[in-house]
Amino acid sequence: MIPAVGIGAGLVAALLFSVVITGSPLAVLLYSAAPLPIFIAALGWNHRAGLYASAAGALAVTLGLSLPAGFAFACIIALPAWWIAYLALLARSDESGAVEWYPLGHLMVWIAGTATLASVASALVMTTDYETYRAVIARIVDNLLAEMVRSKMLTLPQGKTAADLSADITPLLVRAVPLGIAASIVTTITANLWLAAKTVQFSGRLPRPWPFIPSTTLPRTALPLLAVGLVTAMLDGFVGLAGASLVGALLAAFMFSGLAMLHDLSRGQTWRTPMLISVYVALIVMQAVLTPLLALAGMIDTLLGLRKRAAMPPPPPQA
């Protein structure tokens, strides 16, 4: 049963991954859901089903597309989904027999670490030569800036040409690309994990009781990890790329922690619903402004333990 479920999930994930080559908006959306079947298999049956799904999907992508594509599927989609699902179902019992499940805050740190490795792997799939990688990303950024200027989405300063703008901005954007990729991978993994867990819970196969998500707080070890990422990001080569990826991934994790803090501290307040609606709308229309603020809130909460001082106790766990 487990091998069959895993192989089926892997083939579905491989199909969702492969449609991205069409380049359509729907294909990008389906690509984002590629980890979902692997998460469902691993959470609903066990982590071995996730391993079967990873292997079957990687083999299918390799045969259908290419060996680098199969490697990309394994490193960016399949293995991260299997590993995070494995950690999500880790548990231990104390002397009284009470079960303690793996904390969500620690799981978010692992999601950030996994996203960092996936971001580096995506660059290595492109090329193992860093200068070639920089040249490819710079060309993509230059083309994007030129298109934004042509479509009037970007206004040039007085006396500046598109070439001048590229010369000033492109080097900075090239270094920031891994940061954005890692942050997007954290968001994708987190969203797929939540959706898969909800789906498996509805089927009655989720071993873990549904956790109180608003209580999620990253452990303090995430703060020195962020500092290491900031220092490493200043270096050249793939080491600097890994540092930038770690910074982006942890900032995304802290952003989710800050969002959870708003849900937690506003419980029972009359202004809770309009406040949360405003925040989520702002995340859509002013993402570049609100995301850093939420990440900062998450970092302050981790450092000072704001919710331990102010929040109400969590409600009883759901079955």
Burial label, 144 (beta-carbon count in 10 A; 0-12, 13-18, 19+): middle
318 Cβ contact partners less than 8 Å away, ≥ 6 residues apart: 209, 210
* pLDDT at res. 191: 95
* pLDDT at res. 103: 93
Region 178-198: mean pLDDT is 94
* pLDDT at res. 19: 87
Cα–Cα separations (whole angstroms), residue 195 to 200, 204, 235: 9, 14, 37
Higher pLDDT, 306 or 77: 77
How sure is the predictor about 299, in pLDDT bands with cuts at 50, 70 and 90? very high
* pLDDT at res. 88: 94
Region 238-243: mean pLDDT is 94
Cα–Cα separations (whole angstroms), residue 43 to 28, 192, 195, 227, 269: 25, 12, 11, 33, 34
Higher pLDDT, 36 or 160: 36
Count of CB atoms within 10 A of residue 65's CB? Answer: 16
Alpha-carbon distance of 107 to 115, in angstroms, equals 12
How sure is the predictor about 162, in pLDDT bands with cuts at 50, 70 and 90? low
Query: Is pLDDT of 171 > 90?
Result: no
If you average pLDDT over every residue of the chain, what do you get?
Answer: 87
* pLDDT at res. 21: 78
Region 252-264: mean pLDDT is 93
Q: How many CA atoms lie within 13 A of 105 on its CB side?
A: 20
Alpha-carbon distance of 273 to 253, in angstroms, equals 23
pTM of the model: 0.90
Nearest Cα to 78, choosing from 98, 55, 60?
A: 55
Q: What is the pLDDT of residues 192-201, one digit of tens each?
A: 999 999 999 9
- Spacing of C-alpha 207 from chain mean position: 24
Q: What are phi and psi of 25, to 5 degrees?
A: -55, -40
Residues paired with residue 170 on neighbouring β-strands, in sequence order: none
Query: Is pLDDT of 34 > 90?
Result: yes
Which residue matches tokens 């050249």? 236
* pLDDT at res. 156: 63
Query: Is pLDDT of 154 > 70?
Result: no
- Determine what percent of the chain falls in helix, strand and coil, rounding each to the nearest 5: 75, 5, 20
* 3 state SS of 126: helix
201 Cβ contact partners less than 8 Å away, ≥ 6 residues apart: 210
Region 143-161: mean pLDDT is 68
Alpha-carbon distance of 171 to 281, in angstroms, equals 32
How sure is the predictor about 269, in pLDDT bands with cuts at 50, 70 and 90? confident
* pLDDT at res. 265: 87
Percent of the chain with pLDDT over 90: 55
Q: Are 125 and 61 in contact, with CB atoms under 8 Å apart? A: no
Alpha-carbon distance of 211 to 250, in angstroms, equals 22
Tokens of 315: 């409600």
DSSP-assigned letter for residue 103: P
* 3 state SS of 86: helix
Q: What is the pLDDT of residues 105-150, one digit of tens each?
A: 999 999 999 999 999 999 998 888 989 998 888 888 887 777 776 7
* pLDDT at res. 196: 95
